[in-house]
Structure 1
Amino acid sequence: MTTRPTADDLPFALAPVLRGRFPGAESAEIENWTPSPRGLATETFLFDLVADDTTVSLVLRRPPEVALFPDYDLLRQVLVMRRLADTTLPVPAVRWLDRDGTTLGSPYFVMDRIEGSAPGDLPSYHCAGLYFDAEPEQRTRMWWGCVDTIAEIHQLDWRKLNLDFLAFPQFGTAPLEQLIGYIESALAWASDAQPPALRRAVQWLRANLYEPEHITLCWGDARMSNILYDSDFHVTGVLDWEIAYLGDHEADLAWMLFLDWACSEFQDTERLPGTPTRAETIARYEQRSGMPVRNLRYNEILAAVLLSIPLLRMAHRLQLPAEIDVTAFCAARIEQLLTEGPDLDH
């Protein structure tokens, strides 16, 4: 296998591959090579392939050097995007997937780049960036764009789309039971030193298993920073399908609300004017999806535990000192949700 190039060396290794893949691109050059800060689980690079008077805007994605999920597989996210290609969701078109890694030192795939901008998470979008700089009515439009996208995903027929491979049958029979089993296994894989709040949360999730009213395709990483918006703040792209799975339709809404809590209340930051309330968000989702929200607290605890997996793995592999707790916000929300009770479902 070819040695894995560094981020700086990668365009030089990629250029001859692209010249062979694109007809008439024998003299093409890579320009505007830019590492993307988005996401933890996959390295992402934006670039232009320029040949004569033709420019093609592309994206390359490859695994990080240290996997943050035990079952990480580029094929999984590529299959999801390809099977969503004929839906109304604006997902990137995948050009090709190289799974053996002999060419560039690791598996990778190349996809078309969708134009648009996204709010960031670090720093919080309530403090800087696209969302912060927008007017209140534009923030509302971005927020509803994310909620409406979640609702649209949940209305898809995952069986007709052949997305059954997103289940975890090795961990049980019912989808929620499977997901909890996967989480328990993944946490043990990520680190042998799990914070007490996470252990307590998994026990609570297991003890309070229920049968969801609807099983849907779950985006898995449902947040505004995984959406591209045009200059009028309408949705142009829906990104990052690494942790898509089959589960309760409420899980994506809970993920979005949990991360907004982390970007605001946890950081002692005021939510910006124009940001809909929790209650308004739930009502909008119910209206657009046609599905009731009854187990949001459960799913928000689930979101906090699921997000802890890559964070624990990263801390463990980097051997971060004990005083640096990258899962502190997850644990804080878990404790808050378990203490405050089921009223947070409304």
Structure 2
Amino acid sequence: MADSDEVARPQVSNRDLNEVHDRLVSWLAGRLPDGADPHVSELSIPATNGMSSETLLFDATWTEDGATRAERCVVRMRPALEAKPVFPTYDLDKQYRVMTLVGERCGIPVPKLLWNEPDEAPLGAPFFVMGRADGAAPPDVMPYTIDSWLLKADPADRRRLQEASVAIVAEIHGIEATPEEIAFLQLEQPGDSALRRHLNDLKAFYEWGIEGRRVPLLDRAFTWLEDNFPEDPGADVISWGDARIGNILYVDFAPTAVLDWEMAAVGPRELDLAWMVFIHDFFQDIATRYGGLPGIPDLLRREDVYAQYERLTGHTPVNTHYFEVYSAVRHGVVMARIAHRQEFFGERVMPEDLDETVLHRALIEKMLEGTYWDSLSAATESAGTTEETAQ
């Protein structure tokens, strides 16, 4: 099993939830009709997923038009600036707008949007409120490949979940929108293509997040990304940004809500496809290499994901090795930043070898060596032989 420091959930907030609760009640009273007399339950923090925007859960009741209204609510808010946020900026208004656009233009289940508050005065940070959907997401902590309802599920049910999840990505990418309508999703870094702006944005995030303490592995990986930058990155679409099953709620293996849009942008389709594939590889690696467990080797295999996406959209995924390396580096930058946050909250001591802040350093090293995909093929063949033997 992995050391507890490596898989434990980092602290996500240093706010006084009692104070937030009282300010939330006052704000809600101002948003509702006179005499609504809102009541808000005790605030709670989700236990398994998410370490970026602060997420708070509560139940609200109030009186409207002579009747009692009730909503199970979720607040998404910018983390306190003094608490070493994961990302340098948090555009909550952008998240609200992209969720509105996606909900209007395609059939995927986006949470019910209730209120958007761009002013930081009421709670100390911009936030928005949405309805809480039923369902459960495969957990990040402990990873779903180690212990979860998904791990214990029948393979046929896992396959249903996988295919429904890939279909969500395909639907998002199929949204028709003018450049003007999605201009708010364009990243601000310079570049002659959306992918170039995306890479420059990632570099800027890395430089900000490491606070002068460079991670040699990530430096080498950025050189690789520059040396292998695709000549033709492909057509741009609305990119969900954090396309993974841990950001989807499911009931009976069917999606009920698509969450976490803070990394949404404009970019090639493969940004989302490779991210979905790699993040599962990351959790699978935790199970097998750190935990000595089988994990879920038949889930989200790249050949299955890419083939289904092509069937649904007619688009053949291209430059997939590049985008998988890009995903691994992107996740590495996030992990390096989270390590600084853990140090700030007294949850870890920074190692002398800063490559150790990247839990999947071995995967990135294999990618840079060019041996990563061969090792995956061997593991897939081994898993298939084991399944045949068991049958």
Task: Pick the aligned partner of 2:120 from 101, 123, 131.
Answer: 101
- Contact kept? 1:117, 1:130, Cα under 8 Å: no
Secondary structure of the residue aligned to 1:222 is coil
Task: Pick the aligned partner of 1:204 from 224, 246, 259.
Answer: 224
Counterpart for residue 74 of structure 1: 92
- Contact kept? 2:23, 2:123, Cα under 8 Å: yes
What is the rounded CA distance, in whole Å, between the counterparts of 2:332 and 2:372 in structure 1?
22
Query: 84-93 or 195-204, which moves further after superposition?
Result: 84-93
Identity of aligned pairs, percent? 32
1:125-140 paired onto structure 2 within 5 Å: 125-140=144-159
What is the rounded CA distance, in whole Å, between the counterparts of 1:275 and 1:313 in structure 2?
28
Secondary structure of the residue aligned to 2:43 is strand
- Structure 1: segments with no counterpart, 5+ residues: none
Q: Deviations over 1:46-68 (max 9, x none)?
A: 21112364321111111122322
Q: Specify whether residues 224 and 161 from structure 1 end up closer, same or farther in structure 2 by C-alpha distance, changes over 3 A only.
A: farther
- Contact kept? 1:48, 1:55, Cα under 8 Å: yes
**Counterpart amino acid of 2:95?**
Q
Counterpart for residue 11 of structure 1: 21
Counterpart for residue 281 of structure 1: 305
Secondary structure of the residue aligned to 1:96 is strand
Q: Deviations over 1:135-184 (max 9, x none)?
A: 22221111112111111111112436811222235321211111111111
- Contact kept? 1:311, 1:326, Cα under 8 Å: no
What is the rounded CA distance, in whole Å, between the counterparts of 1:73 and 1:196 in structure 2?
30
Task: Pick the aligned partner of 1:50 from 61, 68, 73.
Answer: 61
Matched, 1:322 2:350: yes
What is the rounded CA distance, in whole Å, between the counterparts of 1:311 and 1:342 in structure 2?
20
- Contact kept? 1:158, 1:164, Cα under 8 Å: no
**RMSD of Structure 2 on Structure 1 (CA):** 2.5
Task: Pick the aligned partner of 1:155 from 174, 193, 200.
Answer: 174
Task: Pick the aligned partner of 1:272 from 296, 312, 315.
Answer: 296
Shift of 1:193: 1.8
Q: Specify whether residues 218 and 327 from structure 1 end up closer, same or farther in structure 2 by C-alpha distance, changes over 3 A only.
A: farther
What is the rounded CA distance, in whole Å, between the counterparts of 2:215 and 2:148 in structure 1?
32
Provide the TM-score with structure 2 as the length reference.
0.80
1:1-346 paired onto structure 2 within 5 Å: 5-23=15-33, 26-31=36-41, 33-37=43-47, 38-51=49-62, 53-65=68-80, 66-87=84-105, 88-159=107-178, 162-191=181-210, 192-210=212-230, 211-230=232-251, 232-268=252-288, 269-272=293-296, 275-319=299-343, 320-323=348-351, 327-340=357-370
Secondary structure of the residue aligned to 2:104 is coil
**Counterpart amino acid of 2:361?**
A
Shift of 1:273: 7.2
What is the rounded CA distance, in whole Å, between the counterparts of 2:295 and 2:271 in structure 1?
22
Query: 183-192 or 268-277, which moves further after superposition?
Result: 268-277
Secondary structure of the residue aligned to 1:217 is strand
What is the rounded CA distance, in whole Å, between the counterparts of 2:372 and 2:17 in structure 1?
46
Shift of 1:25: 6.0
Shift of 1:81: 0.9
Q: Deviations over 1:1-59 (max 9, x none)?
A: xxx95134322221122233233663331126321243121111121112364321111
- Structure 2: segments with no counterpart, 5+ residues: 1-13, 378-391
- Contact kept? 1:5, 1:104, Cα under 8 Å: no
- Contact kept? 1:45, 1:61, Cα under 8 Å: yes
Q: Deviations over 1:214-271 (max 9, x none)?
A: 21111111111101112x2211111100011111211111111111111113431323
What is the rounded CA distance, in whole Å, between the counterparts of 2:356 and 2:177 in structure 1?
34
Shift of 1:299: 0.8
